[in-house]
């Protein structure tokens, strides 16, 4: 068995393997692309709805105190989960649908012994963990952005509307994107643009970046869900003794526009319960690997393998 490093070097020297996608993979890929867009739209709308709950005058009254703590207290965080959880649950719920697709395309003897729905513990646990993880990440990033926005604006003469807009537009953005919006705004002002125009253009820029992040989360979560659906069904089958987990593996399939980290993983096959090792040494159960946005990498389940077939 070769090491990942030597394997990566070997793969880098030859063209990417042209794996013929199975019918199951094509069906899951279609589900991912369709639902990814739906989740993205719902998440964008949910965050936009939440931002409208923020009251400008309350934010301004807290802002003039010169401390970001009181401002944080004016943000109705208790409603954020209500507004975005439906989108996140829809994304994670793709797992249940993907499991059904996998079962439908299994050999008949296996289909007869497998049942798959949202009551399955593997489905429930995964949906709950992914929803909680994404909600936590969004709220933590938003809190970081608000703190930075307040710090950057305390020495400026701003109207209540300007203060509220800066706070609102930082909700849901990646921290680096929130900083990019602020830099863009300051550059516009430095170029002689009226403050009102600079704020308006910055608002539109922030909206585009929010749309970008919503798309990134939607596509990533639905791809994760379809891959998890495959893994969960096969592990359920192995738990019931329907397949031999020692001769069943999972193969990384590069799709979309891969980064260099993912490119060398194309065709790498590991045991069903094994882990893929990335070039930086991190190990993951299945892609997408969180090294770049909009990762489209998938997996295929392969069985009746020999020990030498695993990487």
> What pLDDT score does 3 carry?
38
Q: Does residue 240 have a pLDDT over 70? A: yes
**What is the percent of the chain where pLDDT is above 90?**
42
**Distance separating alpha carbons of residues 70 and 65, to the nearest angstrom:** 8
* Among 82, 78, 83, 74, CA closest to 54: 74
- Indicate the angle between helix axes 121-153 and 77-104, nearest 10 degrees: 140
**Mean pLDDT value of segment 274-289:** 88
**Mean pLDDT value of segment 83-102:** 88
Q: Is-above-0.95 flag for pTM?
A: no
Q: Does residue 9 have a pLDDT over 50? A: no
CA angle 95, 287, 94 (to 5 degrees): 15
Phi, psi of 276 (to 5 degrees): -85, 135
How many beta carbons lie within 10 A of that of residue 247, not counting itself?
Answer: 16
Range of weakest confidence among 69-78, 217-226, 282-291: 282-291
**Mean pLDDT value of segment 207-231:** 93
Distances, alpha carbon 226 to alpha carbons 35, 106, 159, 165, in Å: 10, 16, 47, 37
Q: Would you list the domain boundaries of the chain?
A: 22-244
**Mean pLDDT value of segment 103-122:** 79
For 140-175, the pLDDT digits (tens) are 999 999 999 888 888 888 888 888 889 999 999 999
**Distance separating alpha carbons of residues 23 and 248, to the nearest angstrom:** 18
> What DSSP string describes 148-204?
HHHHHHTTS---HHHHHHHHHTTTT--HHHHHHHHHHHHHHHHTT--HHHHHHHHHH
């Amino acid at each position: 068995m070769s090491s990942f490093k030597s394997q990566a070097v070997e793969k880098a020297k030859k063209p990417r393997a042209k794996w013929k996608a199975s019918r199951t993979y094509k069906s899951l890929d279609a589900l991912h692309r369709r639902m990814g867009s739906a989740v993205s739209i719902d998440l964008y709308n949910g965050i936009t709805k939440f931002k409208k709950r923020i009251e400008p005058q309350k934010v301004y009254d807290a802002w003039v105190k010169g401390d970001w703590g009181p401002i944080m207290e004016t943000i109705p965080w208790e409603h954020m989960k209500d507004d975005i959880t439906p989108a996140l649950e829809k994304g994670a719920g793709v797992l249940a649908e993907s499991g059904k697709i996998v079962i439908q395309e299994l050999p008949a003897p296996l289909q007869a012994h497998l049942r798959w729905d949202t009551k399955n513990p593997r489905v429930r646990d995964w949906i709950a963990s992914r929803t909680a993880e994404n909600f936590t990440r969004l709220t933590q990033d938003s809190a970081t952005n608000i703190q930075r926005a307040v710090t950057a604006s305390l020495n400026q003469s701003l109207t209540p509307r300007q203060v509220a807009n800066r706070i609102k537009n930082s909700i849901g953005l990646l921290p680096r994107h929130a900083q990019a919006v602020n830099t863009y705004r300051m550059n516009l002002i430095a170029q002689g643009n009226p403050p009102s125009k600079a704020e308006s253009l910055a608002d539109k820029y922030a909206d585009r970046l929010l749309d970008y992040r919503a798309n990134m989360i939607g596509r990533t979560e639905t791809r994760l869900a379809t891959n998890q659906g495959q893994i969960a069904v096969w592990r359920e089958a192995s738990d019931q003794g329907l397949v031999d987990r020692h001769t069943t593996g999972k193969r990384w399939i590069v799709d979309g526009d891969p980064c260099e980290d993912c490119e060398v993983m194309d065709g790498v096959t590991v045991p069903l319960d094994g882990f893929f090792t990335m070039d930086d040494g991190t190990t993951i159960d299945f892609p997408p690997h969180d090294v770049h946005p909009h990762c489209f990498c998938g997996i295929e389940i392969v069985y009746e393998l020999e020990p030498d077939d695993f990487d």
